[in-house]
Chain A
Amino acid sequence: MKSVRKKRKKFFRILKAPFLLFRGLLIRAITFYQRRLSRHTCLYTPSCSEYTKRCINTWGAFLGIMMGIWRILRCNPLSKGGVDPAPELPWKRKWLV
């Protein structure tokens, strides 16, 4: 029984591999942007690029990019800025109380 579960896990890992690779590439690209191209001017903490990076890491490439775009749209001269952390997966959220 245990071996079947292990096999299944391995199979899913192979299926996931290309998606994870793409995710990693995107994160690498954003890191390059942060180190070389960014002017480090953002209204929010964490910055838009960091937010997008974290979103891609937790929510996957598509949703992460969508969330990042929405954040960049919010980060305009009219908004006030402030602290705005990247959303966590609901079942990984740590509830106080």
Chain B
Amino acid sequence: MGIDYTVISSSLAGLDFLGKFARAIIEGVGIIGLGIIVFTLVLKAITLPFDVYQRYKTRKQTLIMRGMKDDLDKLQKQYANDKTTYNQKMMELYKKNGYSMFGACLPMILSLVILIVAFQGFNSYSRYANVKQFVDMTEQFNAVVLEHATDGEDWHLSIEGVEDDALTIPLTEEQIDGGEIWTHTDEAGVSYRVSHDTEGTQEIKDEEGNVVETVENKVVRLWISSEGEKIFMNYHYLLGSYVYTYDAEAKEVKKDFVPVAPENIKRDYEIDFDTFRSYLAKQGETDETAKAKLAEIEEKLTAAEGEITQEVKDLCTGYVDSLGAAAAKEYYLNHRSGFLWIKNVWESDATYKHPVPKSTPNAKAISALDYTRLTSALGDQKKEYNGYYILIILSIGMMVLSQIVTMRSQKEANKYQTADGQGAKTQKFMLVLMPIIYGIFAFMYSAAFSIYMIISSLVSLLVTVLCNLILGRIFKRKEDDAIRERYGHKLAWKDRKDKEKKSKTKSRK
């Protein structure tokens, strides 16, 4: 009756290195939204020194370029017909003024790499978080349902005669064949019973397809049951079965007993009907739904003249499932990973997405039947809107804004620093391309990544504005000096300083 979650937990191992990094930070902070912001800031802090250095250098180079402009124009007129000499002279001029023409490639690639790192990290962790929620919900489900089940131990057959294991059933193959049944009751009052059952028949064929013999499919099962006030679920499982093969040489059918290995044992839960009814009757004194359920079951029973039909069985399992689903719902509502208006941060902020995914994030993780059983109480959450496109619009808007601001501040640098002033053209293209890429990311992937993109654009916007302010202050004096020098103006205090310097060098001589 419980849901098997070993498969789901195994799919949790898919968390890669970057996902683990994101998980460590986000779970370390505690509040999910804050954790994402901290993760963003950490990534930004790593690149900040490079970014500021780059801006400083660009500014400096632009200043030098501005000073050289007149000389360059002169050169261009002088060597208008001779391009190679012009280039040579230009290079000499650059070297004299300490000007390196272009920036390097690595920093540009680095920013792209960091975007991929962040994307991969968030993607891997959001998948992990969605699956993890299902695993935790399944645990709650099982804990509640299995409260009503027999708490037995898994005994197993050993045909080779391994006796040292305490849980080995002391039976030989002949005993099983002969139909001898082993019973056992342990100290806790749990009783074990081995049965030798026939389940249908099988036709054995020879190579030409003629039926040689018709045999009965024989299986050996272990039934475990116990009695208690709340316990109405018993379970059983397959211990082993007979496999028939046709031996062509001896012209006879061979019979082999194949035991099930202890690790492959699969429990089948079954509701003990009389105990369940008495449990429901007792529960019905306080609980209205249990009373209604009991009445429904009794009605179906009288309609079938006392026979327990499949319909009645489904009613019983439905009641037990509803107990587990209620526990799963309670857990979900207490532990959902929301942020502001978004119900589930690991899905994108759109109305067509829902806080509880329509199916499991990893289709292999949990079967469709188990999924419906687990989320049967979460009907409202499956229909709810996850978000209202706010984060998507915000992330696109922030990107456009930060691109425009960078474009404005780098206008001059683009003119001087790139070949034929192509930087401006590229930047215009980027102004269109980057918001489109960010929009697609925000639509397709989790809201957590949208939050990352917004915070990251915001930080880069702030850095641009602050850098412009501070670097403007620093370079203003230098720019003033350069202008004065060009027009032959020298400041009185600067004259004096120069004279002092000269006198010092003279005295040393």
Residues of chain A touching chain B, judged by Cβ–Cβ distance below 8 Å, are 36-43, 47-48, 72-73, 75-77, 79, 81
Contact = CB atoms under 8 A, between A and B. Distances in A.
Interface of B: 53-54, 57, 100, 102-109, 414, 417-420, 422-423, 426-427, 429-430, 433
Contact of A39 (B53, B54, B108, B433): B108
Contacts of B57: 77
A40 B429 contact: no
Given A41-B418, A41-B423, A81-B100, A36 B429 contact: yes
27 contacts: A37-B429, A37-B430, A39-B103, A39-B108, A39-B414, A39-B418, A39-B423, A39-B426, A40-B422, A41-B102, A41-B103, A41-B104, A41-B108, A41-B418, A42-B104, A43-B100, A47-B105, A75-B105, A76-B104, A76-B105, A76-B107, A77-B103, A77-B106, A77-B107, A79-B104, A81-B102, A81-B104
A43 B108 CA distance: 13
Given A41-B418, A81-B100, 18 more contacts: A37-B433, A38-B422, A39-B422, A39-B427, A40-B102, A40-B423, A41-B423, A42-B104, A42-B105, A43-B102, A43-B103, A47-B105, A72-B106, A72-B109, A75-B104, A77-B106, A77-B107, A81-B102
Contacts of A41: 102-105, 108, 417-418, 423
Contacts of A73: 106
Interface of A is mostly: loop
Nearest to A47: B105
A24 to B, nearest CB: 23
Among B53, B54, B106, B433, the one with the most A-chain Cβ atoms within 10 Å of its Cβ is B106
Given A36-B429, A37-B430, A77 B419 contact: no
Contact of A72 (B105, B417, B430): B105
A41 B100 CA distance: 11
B106 to A, nearest CB: 4
B426 A38 contact: yes
